[in-house]
Structure 1
Amino acid sequence: MRLDQYLASCSDAFSRTLVRKLVDLGGVHVGGRRTRKCAHAIRAGEMVEVHVDGRSLEPFVLTDEHVLYRDPFLIAVNKPAGVETQPTPARYRGTLYEALLHYLHNPFRPRDKPELGMAQRLDRETSGVLLFSIHRRAHAGLTQAIAGRSATKIYLALVSGAMPNPSGEFRSLLARNRASNLMRSVAKGGKEAITRYRVLQEWGAVSLLEIELLTGRSHQIRAHLSEAGHPLLGDVRYGGPVAVAGLDIPRQMLHSWRLTLDHPVEQRKLTLEAPLPADFQYLVDRLEAGAPV
């Protein structure tokens, strides 16, 4: 039996149309491997898994308006919030990685797979600058610059409460808590994480911070701010409020704003900036206009 026919026969929740979209996204796995062909023939005894992340079934497509910079070695994009950086069990198509491969594909040389090196990642709900290498001569140099401390990574964040000082630093060892699956500071056994901040503006119970990320641990900014009692607005997993100024917060208010580094091939200084997305800018404007918080 065809894969789409089989899934449609398993449950009334699986229409043939829905199954086709899930298969196309890459959310259906047969025998432990992602399968993107509806006509795939199911054999007796095979395990079929369907992963659904509850988000749009329309895949993200990268366009010229998302590209901040491009040369023969690098490409920088302004990642929208809500887009996965890399493939997940629920989707391959529509992730930033897949969208970049499609964008870089040369239709006149269809057999040539684009070179794509991923040295950075952003959480799904974080927006802003992401830089990729697109030539083998740049892969190692970009990875070294991002993993080391030669690159300057600046974020903008809206957080709950007023910070105790106009600037400061969080330094701890971070490790994933097995029970909660959240990153937490530990006395030993974690990886060093250093986060610096500077207050740009305050509106009573909300602050706008400029954050410099000296290390690149998973959920580092989210964990440090939450532990300090100032979680990101909208960051439900780390205790952030879901509404402020009478407005619902649709996501965590974190934006990768500026990245500065030496070009890994040409050795010149490169500074990349991503403008604030509309939802972040709208909230700042409302706060500036005096919305009660």
Structure 2
Amino acid sequence: MTEQQYEVQREQNKIRIDKLLAEINPENSRSQVQTWINQGLVAVNDNIVKANYKCQSGDRVTWSIPESMSLSVTPEDIPLDIVYEDRDVIVVNKPRGMVVHPSAGHASGTLVNALLFHCHDLSGINGVERPGIVHRIDKDTSGLLVVAKNDQAHASLVEQLQAKDVERKYEAIVHGVIEHDKGLIDAPIARDPKDRQKMGIVEQGKPAVTHFTVLQRFEHFTHVECRLETGRTHQIRVHMKYIGFPLVGDPKYGPKKTLDIGGQALHAKVLGFTHPRTKNWMHFTSEAPTVFRDLLKQIKKMY
């Protein structure tokens, strides 16, 4: 992802930011530019803005454009841990270390590559590179996610996510000892204006709410369950850092000195949603991977 900058000229005073960027980047449509803005990839004077922001002469505009990918995604014979499947949805237990969909630097070996080999009837709402993908979990986060096999199922699942009707619970191991048994973190998230490769707590960001419950305390660590009310990029990782308890092993948001497990200690263990066709409530659970369970054992022995 490359960052670009532009200073608004006098004759561009009062122009909408989405129109300005579409003019500066003629190879991209205005709707694509609006997607960048909605994803928090555009800032004016280091502040995240909305598409209807009217520029002022002298404004410093910065934006990060994801590097373009080939429109061809190759099916690959990669083993999948399929928890449930029917003609509308697939529920997959994603291993840590696997990227969900192709992106810059990850053109193959992704969950999408594996899904395209397994079945050919995935929804097309998200385009060629992200067929069927309704929601994502990070590369080094393991656990459950649901994939749509047709556009009707996709639309239903997205509507449920937006209405906060999808149940998503994670377990994590964090630095520090959380004194409260339960808590709620309500802090907006967007691209960090000071580091566009990270997300951060930004006043103009999108609403983000995380509920947490302490499962077990250790001398220097806490094992917690986190329930997502919203689903922003890196939400749990950013929120737990924000309250002073960053995830163990997190290379992006964790402390410099952490336990090295090759990524953040985070597992998507519970997923629940209403089936798009039958309207039945679907509920799935997944045990944390061996590396996560071994880390808990290691911490117990350490203290």
Quick one: which of 111, 117, 121 aligns to 1:102? 117
Q: Percent of counterpart pairs with the same letter? A: 32
Relative to structure 1, is the Cα distance of residues 172 and 114 closer, same or farther in structure 2, using a 3 angstrom cutoff? closer
Distance in 1 of aligned mates of 2:199 and 2:106 = 24
Given that residues 242 and 250 in structure 1 are in contact (C-alpha distance below 8 angstroms), is that contact kept between their aligned partners in structure 2? no
TM-score by length of 2: 0.70
Who wins on radius of gyration, i.e. which is larger? 1
Q: Map Cα deviations across residues 145-198 of structure 1 (whole Å, 9 max, x no partner).
A: 1232011110000000111311000001112113212222123x1110000000
1:123 aligns with 2:138: yes
Distance in 2 of aligned mates of 1:272 and 1:33 = 33
Relative to structure 1, is the Cα distance of residues 201 and 241 closer, same or farther in structure 2, using a 3 angstrom cutoff? farther
Which residues of structure 2 form unaligned runs of 5+?
A: 1-67, 124-130
Q: Map Cα deviations across residues 3-52 of structure 1 (whole Å, 9 max, x no partner).
A: xxxxxxxxxxxxxxxxxxxxxxxxxxxxx66398xxxxxxxxxxxxxxxx
TM-score by length of 1: 0.72
Given that residues 235 and 242 in structure 1 are in contact (C-alpha distance below 8 angstroms), is that contact kept between their aligned partners in structure 2? no
In the TM superposition, residue 62 of structure 1 has moved relative to its aligned partner by 3.6
1:277 aligns with 2:289: yes
User: Structure 1 runs of 4+ off > 3 angstroms?
Assistant: 32-36, 59-62, 113-116, 240-244
Relative to structure 1, is the Cα distance of residues 158 and 256 closer, same or farther in structure 2, using a 3 angstrom cutoff? same
Shifted more, 191-200 versus 113-122: the winner is: 113-122
Shifted more, 161-170 versus 114-123: the winner is: 114-123
Q: Report the counterpart of residue 183 of structure 1 in structure 2.
A: 199
Q: Report the counterpart of residue 302 of structure 2 in structure 1.
A: 292
Distance in 2 of aligned mates of 1:253 and 1:214 = 20
Q: Report the counterpart of residue 108 of structure 1 in structure 2.
A: none
1:257 aligns with 2:261: no
The aligned length equals 226
Relative to structure 1, is the Cα distance of residues 144 and 33 closer, same or farther in structure 2, using a 3 angstrom cutoff? closer
1:34-49 correspondence to structure 2 within 5 Å: 34=70
Distance in 1 of aligned mates of 2:205 and 2:258 = 33
In the TM superposition, residue 237 of structure 1 has moved relative to its aligned partner by 1.2
Distance in 1 of aligned mates of 2:256 and 2:292 = 15
Distance in 2 of aligned mates of 1:281 and 1:208 = 11
**How well do the aligned residues superpose, as a CA RMSD in angstroms?**
2.1
Q: Report the counterpart of residue 106 of structure 2 in structure 1.
A: 91
Q: Report the counterpart of residue 157 of structure 1 in structure 2.
A: 172
Aligned residue for 1:122, secondary structure, equals: coil
Q: Map Cα deviations across residues 64-110 of structure 1 (whole Å, 9 max, x no partner).
A: 5x1111111110111111111111122322111111111114xxxxx
Distance in 1 of aligned mates of 2:87 and 2:71 = 33
Q: Report the counterpart of residue 171 of structure 1 in structure 2.
A: 186
Aligned residue for 1:291, secondary structure, equals: helix
Given that residues 122 and 132 in structure 2 are in contact (C-alpha distance below 8 angstroms), is that contact kept between their aligned partners in structure 1? no
1:136 aligns with 2:151: yes
Q: Map Cα deviations across residues 195-233 of structure 1 (whole Å, 9 max, x no partner).
A: 000000011111110100000111111111011110000
Relative to structure 1, is the Cα distance of residues 147 and 62 closer, same or farther in structure 2, using a 3 angstrom cutoff? farther
Given that residues 93 and 99 in structure 1 are in contact (C-alpha distance below 8 angstroms), is that contact kept between their aligned partners in structure 2? no
1:225 aligns with 2:225: no
Which residues of structure 1 form unaligned runs of 5+?
A: 1-31, 37-58, 106-112
Aligned residue for 1:255, secondary structure, equals: strand
